[in-house]
Amino acid sequence: MPLLLLDLDNTLVDRDAAFRAAAAGFLARHGLPDSDLTWVTTIDASGYAARHEVAAALSDRYGVLVSTAAIRALLDNGVADHVALMRSSREALRKAQADGWTCVIVTNGRTVQQEAKIRNTGLDQLVQGWVVSETIGHKKPEPEIFHAAAATVGIPLPGAWVIGDSPHADIAGAEALGLRSVWVTDGRPWSQDSYQPTHVAKDVASAISHAMSNQG
């Protein structure tokens, strides 16, 4: 049975758009300047900034105007509360499942947050499993997390496709294991010289379609 290993944030779901919506609501609720939205999204760094560093920056900027609990709520629940799954992505996953593919989400992050995103978007009904770095104790591009994903569904890792938006975490991870990969560009150019994705796609639906068309 063919195996698809799919990244979550900014691949299956638009994590950045969800954080932007959450941050805009946060600013509005606390009467803070909406012009601060760019600053908040910049310090978030698409989720790559350490949570405690983002929390400290928010506390330093807003002081007594915003409680620690409110900042914690934004960082812990904001994305999961606003994230959505595009119809094209949903349909692509359904088609993959109907065609006999096994789909597993492989994501870095904290388990509670990532599983909330998966359930809130209905992805838990569209994939056959998932692994989160916090639970596994390894993060992409480490090979252990990809092996754990394959083990979750009892399918050998060789022959799997990896789909993701991160050159380092997803594509380099696939390259190290000899797996085929599709890089989801979101309009960005490829800038790495030492490795290349097998294929480049504009979105996850196109990426899934390519993998399905090149199973052999």
User: With bands split at pLDDT 50, 70 and 90, how would you rate the model's confidence at 123?
Assistant: very high
Distance CA 216, CA 214 (A): 6
| Chain segment 73-100, per-residue pLDDT in tens | 999 999 999 999 999 999 999 999 999 9
User: With bands split at pLDDT 50, 70 and 90, how would you rate the model's confidence at 187?
Assistant: confident
User: With bands split at pLDDT 50, 70 and 90, how would you rate the model's confidence at 1?
Assistant: confident
Q: Are residue 76 and residue 171 in the same domain, yes or no?
A: no
DSSP letter string, 30-80: TT--GGGHHHHHHHHGGGTS-HHHHHHHHHHHHGGGS-HHHHHHHHHHHHH
CATH number for the domain harbouring residue 121: 3.40.50.1000
Q: Are residue 22 and residue 101 in the same domain, yes or no?
A: no
Cis peptide before 33 (omega within 30 of 0): no
Rounded average pLDDT over 131-139: 97
- Tokens 């959450």: give the residue: 22
- Tokens 């696939």: give the residue: 174
Q: Are residue 53 and residue 133 in the same domain, yes or no?
A: no
User: With bands split at pLDDT 50, 70 and 90, how would you rate the model's confidence at 216?
Assistant: low
Q: Are residue 117 and residue 155 in the same domain, yes or no?
A: yes
**Residues 188/36, Cβ–Cβ less than 8 Å:** no
Q: Residue 46: exposed, middle, or buried by beta-carbon count in 10 A (0-12, 13-18, 19+)?
A: middle
Select from 30, 64, 82 the last residue of a domain.
82
Task: Check pLDDT > 80 for residue 130.
Answer: yes
Q: Are residue 128 and residue 179 in the same domain, yes or no?
A: yes
Q: Are residue 72 and residue 174 in the same domain, yes or no?
A: no
Q: Are residue 24 and residue 101 in the same domain, yes or no?
A: no
Give the pTM.
0.94
pLDDT number for residue 186: 84
Rounded average pLDDT over 40-52: 94
Q: Are residue 170 and residue 204 in the same domain, yes or no?
A: yes
Q: Are residue 105 and residue 19 in the same domain, yes or no?
A: no
DSSP letter string, 150-213: HHHHT--STT-EEEES-IIIIIIHHHHTT-EEEEE-TTPPP--SS---SEEESSHHHHHHHHHH
pLDDT number for residue 215: 80
Q: Residue 188: exposed, middle, or buried by beta-carbon count in 10 A (0-12, 13-18, 19+)?
A: exposed
Select from 82, 105, 132 the last residue of a domain.
82
Select from 63, 82, 101 the last residue of a domain.
82
Q: Containing domain of residue 27, as a range?
A: 15-82
Average pLDDT score over the chain? 96
pLDDT number for residue 120: 97
Q: Are residue 68 and residue 88 in the same domain, yes or no?
A: no
| Chain segment 50-67, per-residue pLDDT in tens | 999 999 999 999 999 999
Residue type (1 letter), 167: P
Q: Which helix (H) or strand (E) holds 7?
A: none
Give the number of domains in the chain.
Answer: 2
- Name every residue whose Cβ is closer than 8 Å to that of residue 186 and which is 6 or more positions away in sequence: 10, 165, 202, 203
Q: Are residue 70 and residue 93 in the same domain, yes or no?
A: no
Q: Are residue 132 and residue 192 in the same domain, yes or no?
A: yes
